[in-house]
């Protein structure tokens, strides 16, 4: 431990990329994670019987428009040509998200082109009808509160289009790692200067950073541990929204015909159903297997000990985050990032971008 040059706590996307950058600068890095695996919530599992790659913490689709991120990711994996499409099930009918001509025309039983739809959607009654069908129920379930109480940046993650494009993301580069996400992460941290220690947390005790019971040397620490937990929740715990998943193996080749279906009605308890084989159409064994694996996603309120998924961005959490960030300033060797450290909901590419942009010592 004495001869390390840096510690990276948290082997999710941000941490793995930071560790790799440090190693490529010649630093000897100790990379720790409190879990028994790397990859954070992008962790997958291959089902032996079907060869289906199960995204244990919900679907993760790699998509970006940032050239340096795409370049970095492609150093460690090739991607298949999967382009994400999401269907919405509402009152027994299926619609292509996001809001675009396919959805609008089907919902209102019309055959409008772009100009006509533009005019039609200026009507606030039409806007409201779409909002109530596709956002109100889903958002209330997802966040446990009415959409009016949610920061508008969350809903505006979903594009609104006046064309027939049914790609969920507008990014030019999309795909799933051909050999899977676990292999992608394994390769990122596969460097002779990266020493990986799992089941090990970063702990701050009496002003000293420790890992695995040992006091860390005075070297830069890059942490994506939850910022409140790192400081023993001294100002209180930050609120999160959590999720619960129910997995099922079914004796059919294809259950829903696509990777994700959102259930936008408020009284259906889950928000979406994932069917993972659709992420790897090139994998003949998994794709043509007479069985399939689906996963229902249920949002839930977060309690201490639950998996944190979505930061809840409101006035009181912003105030708490500011207090923790101020506390962090007392530790000049400490750098924080990642979803849990920054208390920000990052897409995977934004986490890589942040790690690539970080000034490393």
Using a 10 angstrom Cβ sphere, with 0-12 exposed, 13-18 middle and 19 or more buried, the burial of residue 192 is exposed
Tell me whether residue 88 or residue 238 sits nearer to ligand UDP (CB atom): 88
Applying CB under 6 A, the span of 29-37, 104-112, 116-124, 135-143 interacting with ligand UDP comes to 135-143
Shortest distance, CB of residue 126 to ligand UDP, whole angstroms?
17
**219, 226 Cβ separation under 8 angstroms:** no
Q: With binding defined as CB under 6 A, does residue 41 bind ligand UDP?
A: no
Return all residues near 127 (Cβ < 8 A) that are at least 6 apart: 121
The answer to whether residue 194 forms part of the interface with ligand UDP (CB under 6 A) is no
Instruction: Say which residues have a Cβ less than 8 Å from residue 18's Cβ, sequence separation at least 6.
Output: 8, 222, 337, 355, 358, 360
Question: Which C-beta is closer to ligand UDP: that of 154 or that of 160?
Answer: 154
Pick between residue 21 and residue 141 the one whose CB is nearest to ligand UDP. 141
3-state SS track over the chain: CCCCCEEEECCCHHHHHHHHHHHHCCCCEEEECCCCCCCHHHCEEECCCCCCEEECCCCCCEEECCHHHHHHHHHHCCECCCCCCEEEEECCEEEECCECHHHHHHHHCCCCCHHHHHHHCCCHHHHHHHHHHHHHHHHHHHHCCCHHHCCHHHHCCCCECCCCCCCCCCCCEEECECCCHHHHHHHHCCCCCEEEECCCCEEEECCEEEECCEECCCCCEEECCCHHHHCCCCCCCCCEEEEEEEEEEECCCCCCCCCEEEECCCCCCCCEEEEHHHHCCCCHHHHCCCCEEEEEEEEEECCCCCCCCEECCCHHHHHHHHHHHHHHCCCCCEEECHHHHHCCCCCHHHHHHHHHHCCCC
The one segment of 46-54, 110-118, 132-140, 288-296 that binds ligand UDP by CB under 6 A: 132-140
CB of 111 to ligand UDP, least distance (A): 24
Judged by CB under 6 A, which stretch of 100-108, 155-163, 226-234, 276-284 contacts ligand UDP?
Answer: 155-163
Binder to ligand UDP among 89, 102, 112, 154 (CB under 6 A)? 154
Least gap, CB of 235 to ligand UDP (angstroms):
26
Tokens of 23: 């190693």
94 binds ligand UDP (CB under 6 A): no
Cα 264 to Cα 65, 216, 331: the distances in Å are 28, 48, 45
**Closest separation in Å from C-beta 87 to ligand UDP:** 9
Residues known to be catalytic: 157, 161, 241, 272, 297, 345, 347
Which of these ranges, 108-116, 131-139, 206-214, 220-228, lies near ligand UDP under the rule CB under 6 A? 131-139
Residue 134 found at the interface with ligand UDP (CB under 6 A): yes
* CB nearer to ligand UDP: pick between 200 and 264: 264
Answer yes or no whether residue 138 interacts with ligand UDP by CB under 6 A: yes
Residues 255-294 that bind ligand UDP (CB under 6 A): 262, 264
Applying CB under 6 A, which of residues 46, 56, 155, 333 lies at the interface with ligand UDP?
Answer: 155
Shortest distance, position 254 Cβ to ligand UDP, whole Å: 22
Give the binding range for ligand UDP (CB under 6 A) out of 12-20, 39-47, 133-141, 220-228: 133-141
Report in angstroms how near the CB of residue 69 gets to ligand UDP at its nearest: 17
Binder among 25, 65, 106, 157 for ligand UDP (CB under 6 A)? 157
Give whichever of 97 and 273 is closer to ligand UDP, judged by the CB atom: 97
Query: Minimum Å distance from CB 221 to ligand UDP?
Result: 29
Given 94, 129, 146, 158, the residue binding ligand UDP (CB under 6 A): 158
Query: Where along the sequence are the contacts to ligand UDP (CB under 6 A)?
Result: 88, 97, 134-135, 138-139, 142, 154-155, 157-158, 262, 264
């Amino acid at each position: 431990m004495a001869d390390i040059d840096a510690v990276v706590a948290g082997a999710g996307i941000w941490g793995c990329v930071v560790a790799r950058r440090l190693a490529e600068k010649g630093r000897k890095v100790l990379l720790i994670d409190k879990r028994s695996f790397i990859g954070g919530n992008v962790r997958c599992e291959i089902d032996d019987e079907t060869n289906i790659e199960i995204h244990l913490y919900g679907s993760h689709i790699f998509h970006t428009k940032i050239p340096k991120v795409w370049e970095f990711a492609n150093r460690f994996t090739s991607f298949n040509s999967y382009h994400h499409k999401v269907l919405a099930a509402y009152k027994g009918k299926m619609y292509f998200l996001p809001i675009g001509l396919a959805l609008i025309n089907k919902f209102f039983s019309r055959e409008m082109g772009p100009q006509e739809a533009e005019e039609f959607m200026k009507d606030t009654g039409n806007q409201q009808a779409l909002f109530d069908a596709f956002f109100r129920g889903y958002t209330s379930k997802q966040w446990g509160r009415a959409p009016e109480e949610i920061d508008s940046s969350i809903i505006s993650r979903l594009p609104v289009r006046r064309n027939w494009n049914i790609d969920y993301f507008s990014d030019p580069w999309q795909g799933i790692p051909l050999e899977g996400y676990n292999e992608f992460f394994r390769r990122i941290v596969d460097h002779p200067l990266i020493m990986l220690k799992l089941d090990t947390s970063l702990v701050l005790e009496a002003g000293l950073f420790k890992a695995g019971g040992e006091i860390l040397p005075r070297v830069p620490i890059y942490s994506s541990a939850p910022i409140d937990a790192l400081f023993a929740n001294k100002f209180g715990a930050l609120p999160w929204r959590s999720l619960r998943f129910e997995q099922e193996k079914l004796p059919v080749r294809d259950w829903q015909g696509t990777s994700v279906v959102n259930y936008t009605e408020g009284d259906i308890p889950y928000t979406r159903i994932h069917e993972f084989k659709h992420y790897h159409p090139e994998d003949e064994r998994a794709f043509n297997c007479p069985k399939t694996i689906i996963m229902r996603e249920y949002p839930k309120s977060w309690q201490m000990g639950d998996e944190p998924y979505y930061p809840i961005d409101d006035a009181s959490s912003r105030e708490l985050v500011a207090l923790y960030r101020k506390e962090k300033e007392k530790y000049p060797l400490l750098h924080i990032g990642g979803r849990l450290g920054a208390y920000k909901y990052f897409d995977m590419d934004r986490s890589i971008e942040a790690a690539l942009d970080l000034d490393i010592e």
